[in-house]
Structure 1
Amino acid sequence: MKPGVLAERNAFLLSERGPSRPQRQIVAKAASNANRIDQLPQLVKGWIADDAPLLVTCALGDDAPAAEPLVREIASARDGRETVLIVCENRAHPCYERLANDGRLTVCHAVVDRVCIAPKTARLPDRRRQVLVHAVWEWVVEQAPSQPEVLRQLESGGVLVVDDIAPFRERKLLVVNGLHQILALKCRLLGIEHLALGARHAEVLAVAEPFLDAIEAAHRARWPDFAHDVTYGPERVRVFGDMPDTTERILGDHLVRANLTSLLDRLDARVFAGARTASEHGFDVAVFADVVDLLIAIVGDGDLYYEPPELPAAVDDRTVVERFGALLRGWTTPRQSEQFVERFAEALAVTAA
């Protein structure tokens, strides 16, 4: 019997019709935001009670701790039968380590690259949603010492199971997520709302393509034994050009004058981590300096900020400037860093209330 698959919110089908055709996501009947087993659909309760291996996937971000009691209850109910939790997170919450140490289930970390967008009109009850998912995808899972049966079955469906997920995670964060941020920032500066148009725009590509080249070179130097794919980055540019995505969806909750820290945190993890790797291996980091110039230009233009329905807690400009300075550590000279910080502070001052 095949293992049951419990999807936290939704499941998706990948199109077999060609890499340039996005396909609407299919919401699984078993999708649930339950807090206890007795609130789960009957189908899922049957999976939990069955002797077959059970696979649970999580992509909850900062909400992960709220699901921890349910996962523990499931692990207890399984009573030693194979139960695997696959963590599909860019940044795993510490609660997953607690679950791994519990000993009643196997926790595997994964890298999932499914380029998708969620139209505002596609919201469903219970916070579920329908999204468009591109047919170009990647799902990599780190093997567990116990080599669970469910991972062997996932491999048969095209999932890559590896001993070390680190090089895959770094590539995905920098090439997919980092590229996404850079495309959106440049589009915002140029007044391009639809990312599909920006991904074909000469001025946008003039920033994106050198960034991809720099990331590829640094990644090769850091992971010389990794099976590098020169088409990985350019293919993602094409994917972004296929999807009806917007700069507002990417930046709307982060490019906010009251609090820029979430934007800076994202850029640090998804762009400037690559700058530090490039610098460490002796590569030119001029392209990352260009991204800093882009960021400063945007910060200094009050018309480019968003006003989301729920404003984040305000952070004073001194804290924002300090956070910006942290982005520059490890890849700029002290003099360069000082000049960048001075320009960033001046740009903030221009848009101060």
Structure 2
Amino acid sequence: MTEEARISDDLIDRILLMQTLNSTLVHFLLSTQVDGTVDPDRVDSLTQGLLRTRRWMEEATTMKGVNPSTQNIISLIVKRLSQIESLLPKLSAKAKEAEARGTPAQEILTLLDGDSKVSTSKPPSMRTAPENAAADSKVIPLVGEEAEVVVEPYRKVEVENDEWGLIGQMQRMITQYSKRCHVLLPTFWVDALRELHRYRSDSAYYGDVVEIPGRVLATIVKGLLTEAPGARLLQDLSKKRPQENHLNSSEMERVERAVSVYFSGVSNVLTGKELKVEDKLNEARNSFDAFGWGGPELEKRIIKRINQQCEEALQNAESASDPQRQVIYSEITKLLTKLQHAILAEPRLREILAQMKP
């Protein structure tokens, strides 16, 4: 291959990657408008992908053999990527706030178009005492009216309850395989399993809400440690990367938020309220469509196994015979997708996927 042909092929690869990123960003914008929510982990994983794409495109501006006109165009692309790159962390921060209080996506998506005409009114639960007093000044309570008792759908406790023995099984497996495998990636999924068991509920559906996703997470851990290609890739990784057994605070925070969102999604199952099954199924489908594959530098065979678990959960949601399980499996699909975005958003976990690639 001549030098000119090599440069041409290299530029084509970079432009194709750029086009893939563009498509991903467009899908992100459209899907968040449809869903009405913005996933901060998805935003952060996009940021990581955009950062690498921008750096790769930036290299092309100084490549020998590229004509000045092409270099100028690439420089403009790099400039635009830098502008988006600086905007996404702000969007992520607002998305995390919105995720915590259930704010609609419309409020934070205005960051992308600069619209400042957004209502800043707070929901009643977010108002200060004077605001509530003003809002309720015209309300005359009935004599003898009793305060409504709010039934708590679930609560989080400090110590997990390994009711089905899944945590113990997976932790023993981690300990056993840590002698020959790098275990940070399996540990991520075990910690998600552990976090799942830190929630309690008196609902009759509590068992299904915890055990069903728990077994899915356990399947992922087993697959990584005992099945091809994960087992071999983790063994190879242990030879070139020091062992890491614990998630850092940022990684753990993403796990905690993902599980918190899952329980929020199944709250109506736990309380016995009306279930909007079709809405949940559509949310799960949109979430699966937005599954994060990462860039070309990452080991896709590992990611594909997670994608298969997401697809299986979605199929179970669509085929389950009762609405409660349909909602649970829908939320499992969203949980797995969110955890995958969390992996792509965290530099250390993303680096592991990159080092796994031959």
**TM tier, shorter chain?**
under 0.3
Q: Report the TM-score, using the length of structure 2 for normalisation.
A: 0.25
Q: Report the TM-score, using the length of structure 1 for normalisation.
A: 0.25
Structure showing greater radius of gyration is 2
- In terms of fraction of residues, the more strand-rich structure is 1
* Greater length-normalized contact order (CA 8 Å, ≥ 6 residues apart): 2
